[in-house]
Amino acid sequence: MIRDLYYLKAIGYHFLEELPHKREYNINFKNLNNNIKQCTLCHFSKNRKHSLMEKEQKNNNLMILASHADKSENESGILLNSFKGSLLKKYLKLYLNLEEKDFYFSYLFKCFSYGKNDDFSLQSCLPFFYDELNLIQPKILLCLGEYAFKSLGLKDFNILRGEIFSYQNFFILPSFELEFIEKNPSYEKKFIEDLIKLKGFL
């Protein structure tokens, strides 16, 4: 592989030291929000009526990551303004006594994706998520669904689901996405058991 790169360089190819859209590591929350609103790096930006990000920085112990938003959230610009959002808020209130002000919520895809996961678009959105993560600095990340889990470069969702493990400078708890629970209500008990494990971090 290295030999091939040297060969290409010898015959006239030039390589960039950094990506042209390098992330701004010292970015603040307001600028990050504006960058997302103006992003046109993938085709999902054409669907955007509102950027799908929290409006204010909340430095909570708990951060929750899911893959994609519903149409109603794109229309209203209000995160969790959907059936699955209501379901999540109900679980968090009932089993952890958490209100929306008590956790920070994030989607991998910052524009409406019609419920689709797209690896090309993901590469444009992931830097935004990592900037959020750096700004919020949670104690624990609740990662909802296998796609969101794998998008962080992690493997073995079915083995690690429900386990809390250290990752960089925080902890991760992978669990089921709400669409899965809605379609497979027999897994609701396991999801609730996962949530209860978060109590020690809040």
Residue indicated by tokens 């396991």: 190
CB atoms within 10 A of CB 82: 18
- What percentage of residues in the chain have a pLDDT greater than 70? 87
Give the pair of three-digit tokens for residue 76. 């209203």
pLDDT at 52 over 70: yes
Q: What is the pTM of this model?
A: 0.85
For residue 26, the model assigns a pLDDT of 66
For residue 123, the model assigns a pLDDT of 92
pLDDT tens string 128-170: 999 999 999 999 999 999 999 999 999 999 999 999 999 888 9
* Res. 10 pLDDT band, cuts 50 70 90: very low
What's the half-sphere exposure (Cβ side, CA atoms, 13 Å) at 36? 30
Show Cβ contacts of residue 80 under 8 Å, excluding neighbours closer than 6 positions.
73, 86, 88, 89, 100, 105
For residue 27, the model assigns a pLDDT of 83
For residue 116, the model assigns a pLDDT of 86
Cβ contacts of 80-84, under 8 Å, gap ≥ 24:
80/105, 83/182, 84/178, 84/179, 84/182
Measured CA to CA, the distance from residue 121 to residue 113 in angstroms comes to 9
Cβ 57 vs Cβ 135: under 8 Å:
yes
- Residue boundaries of the structural domains of the chain: 23-201
CB atoms within 10 A of CB 63: 24
**Stretch 6-14: mean pLDDT:** 40
* Res. 25 pLDDT band, cuts 50 70 90: low
Show Cβ contacts of residue 187 under 8 Å, excluding neighbours closer than 6 positions.
176, 180, 181
Give the pair of three-digit tokens for residue 156. 């073995």
pLDDT tens string 28-51: 999 999 999 999 999 999 999 999
Cβ 68 vs Cβ 107: under 8 Å:
yes
Measured CA to CA, the distance from residue 201 to residue 147 in angstroms comes to 24
Q: Please provide the average confidence, as pLDDT, over all residues in the chain.
A: 87
Considering the domain delimited by 23-201, tell me its CATH architecture: 3-Layer(aba) Sandwich (3.40)
Cβ 125 vs Cβ 151: under 8 Å:
no
pLDDT at 23 over 60: no
Strand, helix or coil at 57? coil
Strand, helix or coil at 166? strand
